């Protein structure tokens, strides 16, 4: 994502989900984490390219395996003061579910694509919040270095993945193939 933005938003000591409705539709992404307003501006082209590839991979799998839905960005309503929007999320729900974010289960997988301005927040603040809320896995992606870090609630350190791999949300279903050239573009080291 791009640089966090500053504006003339009203000062509050604690922001709530209800307060989000008062903010302008100005292209910024507004999130809440423990009552703090997090503002991020328009994502970069590289960021959106990686997000679109991940949504495509997951959506193709969801079409065949009912009971799963991908959203990008997704919504995770944890409480009145914590509302996060992961870049991509895989939910255990029907593909075309239209219920309000507050009525759907936590995602099984959350993916955050890192940028210079959001790297620390995504890795050190949002990741543990997702895992504490019941998200099974959180992936942080460094698109520039073609690296995916896979975190779970039980891992002290991430599993670093730097090449194509398979993963699945349910061991009874065929896994999903994550092809790095499809996600990041053709490798320059061929």
Instruction: List C-alpha distances in Å: 160 to 69, 146, 147, 148, 165.
Output: 25, 10, 7, 6, 11
The reported pLDDT for the residue numbered 189 is 59
Q: How far apart are CA 145 and CA 113, in angstroms?
A: 12
The reported pLDDT for the residue numbered 151 is 97
pLDDT in tens, 125-142: 999 999 999 999 999 999
Portion of the chain with pLDDT greater than 90, in percent: 78
Between CA 28 and CA 35, with CA 32 as vertex, the angle to 5 degrees is: 140
Name the phi and psi angles at 73, rounded to 5: -75, 160
CATH class, 44-75+84-184 region: alpha beta
Give the number of other Cβ atoms within 10 Å of residue 105's Cβ.
9
Q: Are strands 82-84 and 76-79 parallel, antiparallel or unpaired?
A: antiparallel
Q: Give me the residue spans of the domains in the chain.
A: 44-75+84-184
* Residues 6 or more apart whose Cβ sits within 8 Å of residue 8: none
pLDDT in tens, 38-91: 999 889 999 999 999 999 999 999 999 989 999 999 899 999 999 999 999 999
Q: Are strands 109-113 and 137-142 parallel, antiparallel or unpaired?
A: parallel
Q: Quick one: pLDDT band at residue 4, thresholds 50, 70, 90?
A: very low
Portion of the chain with pLDDT greater than 70, in percent: 93
């Amino acid at each position: 994502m791009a640089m966090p933005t500053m504006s003339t938003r009203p000062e509050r000591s604690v922001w709530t989900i209800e307060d989000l409705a008062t903010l302008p539709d100005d292209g910024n992404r507004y999130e809440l984490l423990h009552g703090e307003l997090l503002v991020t501006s328009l994502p970069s082209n590289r960021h959106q390219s990686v997000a679109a590839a991940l949504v495509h991979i997951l959506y193709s799998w969801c079409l065949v395996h009912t009971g799963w839905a991908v959203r990008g960005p997704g919504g995770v309503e944890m409480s009145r003061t914590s509302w996060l929007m992961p870049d991509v999320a895989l939910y255990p729900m029907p593909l075309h579910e239209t219920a309000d974010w507050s009525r759907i289960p936590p995602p099984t997988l959350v993916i955050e694509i890192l940028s210079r301005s959001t790297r620390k927040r995504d890795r050190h603040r949002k990741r543990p919040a997702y895992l504490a809320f019941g998200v099974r896995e959180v992936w942080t992606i460094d698109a520039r270095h073609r690296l995916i870090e896979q975190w779970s609630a039980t891992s002290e350190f991430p599993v670093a993945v730097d090449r194509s791999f398979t993963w699945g949300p349910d061991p009874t279903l065929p896994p999903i193939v994550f092809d790095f050239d499809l996600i990041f573009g053709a490798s320059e080291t061929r």
